[in-house]
A and B are shown apart, each in its own frame.
Chain A
Amino acid sequence: MSEQALRLRTKSLPKQGFFSRDNNTTWYLLIGPPFAILFVLTAVPLAVSVYMGLLNWNLGDPAGSTFAGLQNFIELATDGAFWHSIGLTAYQVAATVTLQLVIGMAIALLLSQEFKGAQFLRSVYLVPMMATPVVVGLMWRMLLNTDSGMVNYLLSLVGIGKVDWLGNSALAMPSLIGADVWLSTPFVVVILLAGLRSTPPEVYEAAQMDGASGFKMFWNVTLPLLKPMILLAVLFRVMDSIRRFDTIYVMTGGGPGNATETLDLHAYFTAFTYLDVGKGAAISTVMLLIIFGVSFPVLRQIQKAQ
């Protein structure tokens, strides 16, 4: 904005009255309501949840709740099922995010080029993002159905017999990872594509003049320039993957056995199936701490990269 335009705009704002730039009352009145709504909807439930984690509280027990201090957390430390779910969550998050980044980068690089139909493809790849995760879960559950699923039908055409994708403990988690890669890779593509398209072409031209091309160009120019965007995608996807619930619940419900019972599902079953809401809240608190612990270093890296 030029200096003249800025002066004109400043001039147009009233010096006195409700919409004056200097009237703090206006700002408080404008910020107050959304702040109150946010406070009621986020901070209060969060505080209540953390407090519930300190209670010995089973909803099915008419005696109600008693303060237990850190008892729930101490029990979790020695609970094999809890550590099993942490391990599964780590596996799920690492595999999902890695695959999404690799595939997302490949698609973003492809779509950043100008070719016939590129515009159409840039719209089409967003389709999975438009579907609700529950619908995606149901869709994949049908596709992977052992007897009547499309995946097994296609495999049968090349002579591969029935595969029990969701009922086999070794295949259930990879199937879930595949479904989430399909669902959320477009999100990674959006972020990376925005980064690629905002990179000044002069940078590539200069690199080309210096003799860079192909993989060298990607490794030494594209990747470093995209670092903030990659980290941003990692941040969002890691946070989302840790608290992924809907597709897993719909597709396997944590099974077979407990082969896909990630931390989120473990918290859900503890609180809402077995009614141990105190322990369920404690698991949620641990999950929140894990998300904080993973997110902050990435956030700091983003700030550094910028």
Chain B
Amino acid sequence: MKKRVLVSIAAVAASVLVLSGCAPSGGGGSEKTLNLLMVQSPSTTRLKTLVPEFTKETGIKVNVDLVPQAGMQAKYNVSLGSGAGQYDVVEAVSTNLSQLTASKWIKPLNSYLDDKSQTPSSYTSGFKGGVLDSLAIDGKTYTIPFEVGADMLYYNKDMFTAAGLDPDNPPTTLTEVLSAAKKLNKPEIGQAGFLARGTRQGNENSFSWIMMWLLNGGRWEDAKGKPKYDVLDEEAARKTTDQYATLMTKYAPSGVGNYGFVEDQAAMQQGKAAMWLDGATLGPSLEDKSASKIAGHVGYAALKGEGGNYIAGAVSGLSVVDTTKNDKEAWQLVQYLTSKKVGIDQALAGVGGTPGRTDVLTDPGVQKLYDPAYLAALSESIKHVNPEYSPVIPQGTEIRGAISVALSKILSGQASNEAAMNEANQEILKILKK
């Protein structure tokens, strides 16, 4: 019997040894290797191609993982939430910056930014217009942007003309957008009057709703400026929901409940919609002649809203993971990928949306590339940008989720505007109590 037990233990031990042999080795060489995680997009795909240049300059190897948007949250949770130290640098976007900082998954970068031996002043001076300050949380900078956006209204000039609207005098308020959408909506010729995000996947529709809510004066705070998140029964939220529901159920294409920004962009490019409210980073693709039928016929408008900072400022940046053991090298990589040189390359390649650095926009080559009307609308929007458009608390994603489900119910006719938003408000209260 003893022999059997011993043999069994030996067998299990041998298996464990064999299994452990399958685990990746910890390296052992002196050469540093960094792991970088980003959301898959044309911009990050381009960044990936520039990484070998960084390795050539510094000798630091970089493994790049590009994950589709829909799977990014799960990837964060598994790789950063477990503290496994799988990544050294990760992409942070406006929608999850609050969660990443509240969870202490990424570290403040001020010590690197202030250290002249690690960061030349020419690097920081390229971020003008308070971009870094606007991204700061509690006075600390956690991410360096490689793309800065602000929502704006894109419109098809030809459709404006055909509908008797002046393409040089586009709508600048949501009320005007509603009125124009009504005139532009022509389902009989397959033309929708308006487009925004409708799908609840990735909480996308809540982004469109928040854009409108900010314009209507909505903020994540009460009258005294204290944080408040159960705001869906307030006037700004009610007005926004009615406008969103009207635009999306009356003047958007059928099936818009399944549209994310990818479907919206395709519909605009194919000339199936007259107006589209979304982030500025998505604009340049409308002028891409190889993909867009409306290239050269796109108008851009910065919308006006109530109060200050009424524009949702979508920012994509790079952050150093809190648990990294290669922080100096990680900072070198962040600096490289957010440098002027890389920014210009991104802009000239036409994949980078709007560069995070303002000094990139002053480059003569880049200036030639962008439509002056787009740059004008972007500059106007950025003046009123609000990077904290998502609740800056760990439950922020869950709150956005509750709004997304409510909007999706409204679009699919599962619930009335009021019932859906009241239910979501109760859900938010429940989330906050946890």
> Which 9 A-B pairs give the minimum distances between C-beta atoms?
A32-B11, A146-B255, A256-B412, A257-B409, A167-B257, A59-B81, A253-B201, A60-B394, A36-B15
Q: Once bound together, how far apart are the Cα atoms of A273 and B78, in whole Å?
A: 11
Measured between C-beta atoms, what is the minimum distance from A51 to chain B in Å? 16
Q: Are A32 and B255 in contact (CB under 8 A)?
A: no
Residue A49 is within 8 A (CB to CB) of chain B in the complex: no
Q: Once bound together, how far apart are the Cα atoms of A275 and B99, in whole Å?
A: 10
Residue B110 is within 8 A (CB to CB) of chain A in the complex: no
Chain B 254-289: CB-based contact to A (< 8 A → 1; otherwise 0): 111110000000000000100000000000000000
Stretch at the interface among B1-9, B24-32, B225-233, B361-369: B1-9
Q: Once bound together, how far apart are the Cα atoms of A61 and B104, in whole Å?
A: 9
Given A169-B409, A255-B199, are A61 and B255 neighbors across the interface (CB < 8 Å)? no
Residue A29 is within 8 A (CB to CB) of chain B in the complex: yes
Given A25-B7, A169-B409, are A147 and B12 neighbors across the interface (CB < 8 Å)? no
Measured between C-beta atoms, what is the minimum distance from A111 to chain B in Å? 37
Choose from A40, A169, A258, A275 the contact partner of B394 (Cβ within 8 Å). A275
Choose from B11, B406, B420 the contact partner of A29 (Cβ within 8 Å). B11
A-B contact pairs, 5 of them (CB 8 A): A32-B8, A33-B18, A60-B395, A147-B255, A273-B74
Chain A positions within 8 Å of B201 at CB level: 253, 255
Instruction: Report A's interface with B, CB cutoff 8 A.
Output: 24-25, 28-29, 31-33, 35-37, 40, 58-62, 145-147, 162, 164, 166-169, 172, 252-259, 269, 271-277
Measured between C-beta atoms, what is the minimum distance from A173 to chain B in Å? 12
Q: Are A169 and B81 in contact (CB under 8 A)?
A: no
Chain A positions within 8 Å of B254 at CB level: 146-147, 162, 164, 167
Q: Once bound together, how far apart are the Cα atoms of A167 and B410, in whole Å?
A: 11
Interface size class of B (residues with CB under 8 A): 35 or more
Chain A positions within 8 Å of B314 at CB level: none
Q: Are B394 and A36 in contact (CB under 8 A)?
A: no
Q: Once bound together, how far apart are the Cα atoms of A162 and B192, in whole Å?
A: 14
Q: Once bound together, how far apart are the Cα atoms of A259 and B411, in whole Å?
A: 12
Which residue in chain B gives the minimum CB-CB distance to A32? B11
Stretch at the interface among B209-217, B302-310, B397-405: B397-405
Q: Once bound together, how far apart are the Cα atoms of A172 and B81, in whole Å?
A: 34
Q: Are A273 and B397 in contact (CB under 8 A)?
A: yes
Q: Are A169 and B256 in contact (CB under 8 A)?
A: no
Chain B positions within 8 Å of A253 at CB level: 70, 199-202
Q: Once bound together, how far apart are the Cα atoms of A164 and B409, in whole Å?
A: 14
Q: Are A256 and B253 in contact (CB under 8 A)?
A: no
Q: Are B15 and A256 in contact (CB under 8 A)?
A: no
Measured between C-beta atoms, what is the minimum distance from B240 to chain A in Å? 18
- Please report which residues of chain B, range 377-429, place their CB below 8 angstroms from some CB of chain A when the two chains form the complex: 394-395, 397-398, 401, 405-406, 408-409, 411-415, 420
Chain B positions within 8 Å of A271 at CB level: 77
Q: Once bound together, how far apart are the Cα atoms of A269 and B427, in whole Å?
A: 15
Q: Are B15 and A33 in contact (CB under 8 A)?
A: yes
Residue B189 is within 8 A (CB to CB) of chain A in the complex: no
Q: Are B200 and A259 in contact (CB under 8 A)?
A: no
Measured between C-beta atoms, what is the minimum distance from B29 to chain A in Å? 30
Q: Once bound together, how far apart are the Cα atoms of A29 and B4, in whole Å?
A: 10
Q: Are A59 and B77 in contact (CB under 8 A)?
A: yes
Chain A positions within 8 Å of B256 at CB level: 167
Chain B positions within 8 Å of A24 at CB level: 4, 7
Q: Are A37 and B253 in contact (CB under 8 A)?
A: no
User: Beyond A24-B4, A256-B408: 5 further Cβ-contacts under 8 Å?
Assistant: A28-B4, A33-B18, A62-B102, A146-B258, A257-B406
Measured between C-beta atoms, what is the minimum distance from B119 to chain A in Å? 27
Residue B434 is within 8 A (CB to CB) of chain A in the complex: yes
Which residue in chain A gives the minimum CB-CB distance to B103? A60
- Please report which residues of chain B, range 83-140, place their CB below 8 angstroms from some CB of chain A when the two chains form the complex: 99, 102-104
Measured between C-beta atoms, what is the minimum distance from A218 to chain B in Å? 42
